[in-house]
Every structure is written in C-alpha cells, then in structure tokens.
Amino acid sequence: MAYAVPENTPIMARAIIVNMGDSKWLTSKQGTHGAVYFAGNQDVGLFFKEPISNEVDHMEEAVIQPFMMTNGLTEDTTVQFQMLASVDLFFRNFLWCLEPFPRKAWE
C-alpha cells in the first residue's frame, strides 16, 4: 500500500496496537526498566519513540495518540513500525510497511 504525500510536509500518525504476547506491556510510569514504546525502525531512518499510556495485558489494545512521525520526506521511503522495550530489546511480532511518495505540489 502506498500513500502520496507532499514533499517536506510533516506526517502525523496514530495507532491502535494489540498485545499478542504473553507478557504485560508496562508504561514508563512504573519506571524505565521494561517500559514499552511504539517506535519507528531506525534502520530505515525513522527515529520516533512514543510511550504507551497504560499497562496492556495479553490481547488488550494500546492506543497511541497522534504524533509527528516525520518532519517530511524528500524521496520514496518505506516506513517500518516496531515495539521497543526500554531495556533495548525489540519485538518484531508485527511490522507494517508504508511507502509515502513525496510530491512537489498537489494537483
């Protein structure tokens, strides 16, 4: 799936994510060790890291409020999302790819 976006325009994102693992996702409110974040894959140049707002048990949803995913694009980009734990572990239980195509002007 691909989306056309204007070149150099901030891109906002939001997400609803289901915890399909056995462990409860913790928030940074309980301390930093083990807190879970919705994040971009830095290997493809996406450097956001959004905390979850509430603990999330198995098969419960985490709602990620709108945030700026990137300041803008200047070339075709594949965007990958992941869940990160604050102990520098990452979960790749699910991964989405979007391909925004920058455009110089909307017609």
Q: Which domain holds residue 43?
A: 2-94
Alpha helices of the chain — where are they, by DSSP H?
none
* DSSP 8-state code for residue 27: P
Gap between the Cα atoms of 74 and 14, Å rounded: 22
Distances in Å between the Cα of 55 and the Cα atoms of 30, 61, 70, 93 are 9, 10, 26, 18
Q: What average pLDDT score do residues 89-105 get?
A: 52
Answer whether residue 104 is part of any domain: no
Q: Is residue 105 part of a domain?
A: no
What is the rounded average pLDDT of the residues 53-78?
Answer: 88
Give Cα separations from 43 to 3, 27, 82 (angstroms). 21, 24, 11
Quote the mean pLDDT of the chain.
77
Return the half-sphere exposure (C-beta side, CA atoms, 13 A cut-off) of residue 25: 26
6 located within any domain: yes
Question: What pTM was estimated for this model as a whole?
Answer: 0.73
Residue 99 in domain: no
Condensed to tens digits (0 to 9), the pLDDT of residues 32-59 reads: 677 888 888 777 777 888 888 899 999 9
Where is 5: in which H helix or E strand?
A: strand 2-6
Q: In the chain, how many domains are there?
A: 1
